[in-house]
Structure 1
Amino acid sequence: MHDGQNLFDDQKAAYGASWRFMETMLDPKCPKMRVLGISNSESFEGRIDEYSPYVRRSFKGEGLSRPCGGKGDLYLSYVMNEVLPKYRSKYPTTKVYMGGSSLGGVITLIAALDYADQIDGAFGLSNSWWFVEKQLVRKIEHFKGVLPPFYLDTGTKESENPKTNLGYLKSQETILNALILKENNGIKAEVIQGAKHFETDWAIRLLEVLIWLIK
């Protein structure tokens, strides 16, 4: 899981609320799993660097002091080729799933494309597809493998700005339309009425996502 510091403990979470992942795992309906959370950079711009392979100089609503992004491929290489092998040497596992939210969902989809033969399923909630939408569509179009099972969603209240909310909905539709043209092992897309861009909202729907993904 990306944004690892936000998964378990409200006090350690960046915005004072976590995904409540432990509570979800204790639910009898939750598939059995171990969860590896990888913390992001503590800076806003550093997180963009890690979660996007593509550089972006600016975007409306968030002033950047410098061009951001461009290190997503390095981050995924670190996760897949260093962190994961070390983890599996200590905790052997037969299947690997990946998930995230916002830009964490973006980097999750990129991982599912670039490491399709190593990832058994993935999910992204409240995904910021709009941030690198054109680049993602091109990447999907050039994908030649079989996409692992993938869940994606967006809320209708991701922002206080109605135009931004419409952008989330339109970008999800664009990405979904590109994905379904590719050979895949299952794609599920949802629009969550009233859902906001926040950890407590993701916590509410986490269990159902895991049940669908981890068969």
Structure 2
Amino acid sequence: MIQKEQVFITPFSTYRTLHIHLPQDYKNSTERYPVMYMFDGHNLFNDADATYGTSWSLETFLNSYDKPFIIVGLECNHEGNQRLSEFSPYTFSTPYLGHVYGKGDQLMDWMVNELKPYIDSRYRTMPLRECTGIGGSSMGGLMALYGILHYNSIFSKAACLSSAVFGCKEKILSEFQKTSLSPDTRVYLSWGTKELAKSVFQDQRINDMKMLVNEFTARNASAIFRLIENGQHNETTWGQQNKAVFDYLWRS
């Protein structure tokens, strides 16, 4: 069951759509559920809502998965390059993306201090850190990575698929120096073998993911990197990982 509702993002003084998945028996039970906060909510559940016509088919997967969740998907800003700005916690420049003025730190602060309390008060969640995760792909994967590092007291699990760390790798690495990770932290990272045309860039991104795994494990957290054979930078590839993501984060 997907519900859509408008929420006010205080630091940006604007409304945005939430795409919220509730378990099938939500209305007929009193059970409380773990929560995953995810980016690009419009691309998660229904092809009709997805930017390029294909979603992760996450609702179909969850309806047959034997562990129920609430998923809170935050739709991105579709105006110009505002998605890049709002989904980057850092300001950086690259030849490919140009100059990105990062506002993701403000967005994440809002998610932790306003959105999560709102969701916990409105829905039957398990609000504890151990029952709260964060996830996304591409720039959303970068935000999930930032979230698990910068707000490790809030999130215990992160799904970081095809994370766009190439423009701010040093800044992400500096986050590891600022935080103390709980040993129950679990992070899923992935990259597809056909995401980039040039093999040299592919090798760099794969090495970046392996480096991040090493940084997490060096701090007694758990992390895994999956190289997706023939995987591309799109919702089809990310949706194919639904089971792997949820199994690793919530069952291992």
TM-score, normalised relative to structure 1: 0.90
Matched length:
209
Note if contact 1:52-1:71 (Cα within 8 Å) is conserved in structure 2: yes
1:11 aligns with 2:16: no
1:122 aligns with 2:158: yes
CA distance in 2, matches of 1:161, 1:154: 14
1:161 aligns with 2:203: no
| Correspondence for 2:102 | 70
1:50 aligns with 2:82: no
Aligned match for 2:230, one of 181, 194, 198: 194
Q: Which ranges of structure 2 fall in alignment gaps of 5 or more residues?
A: 1-37
| Correspondence for 1:100 | 136
Q: Which has the higher contact order (CA 8 A, sep 6+)?
A: 1
Shift of 1:123: 0.9
Shift of 1:28: 3.7
Offset from partner CA, 1:49-100 (integer Å, 9 cap, x none): 112121113x2334x3xx3132111000111111111111111211211110
| Correspondence for 2:61 | 24
Aligned match for 1:143, one of 166, 179, 185: 179
CA distance in 2, matches of 1:102, 1:61: 14
Offset from partner CA, 1:182-214 (integer Å, 9 cap, x none): 132x21221111111100111111112112211
TM-score, normalised relative to structure 2: 0.78
| Correspondence for 2:76 | 40
CA distance in 2, matches of 1:97, 1:9: 21
Offset from partner CA, 1:89-144 (integer Å, 9 cap, x none): 11121121111011111111111112111113111111122121111112113322
Note if contact 1:133-1:175 (Cα within 8 Å) is conserved in structure 2: no
* Shift in CA distance, 214/44, structure 1 to aligned 2, threshold 3 Å: farther
Is 159-168 or 75-84 further displaced after alignment?
Answer: 159-168
| Correspondence for 1:181 | 218
Is 14-23 or 144-153 further displaced after alignment?
Answer: 144-153
Q: Percent identity between the aligned chains?
A: 26
RMSD of aligned alpha carbons: 1.6
1:90 aligns with 2:125: no
CA distance in 1, matches of 2:95, 2:229: 24
More strand per residue: 1 or 2?
2
CA distance in 1, matches of 2:242, 2:146: 21
SS of corresponding position for 1:100:
strand
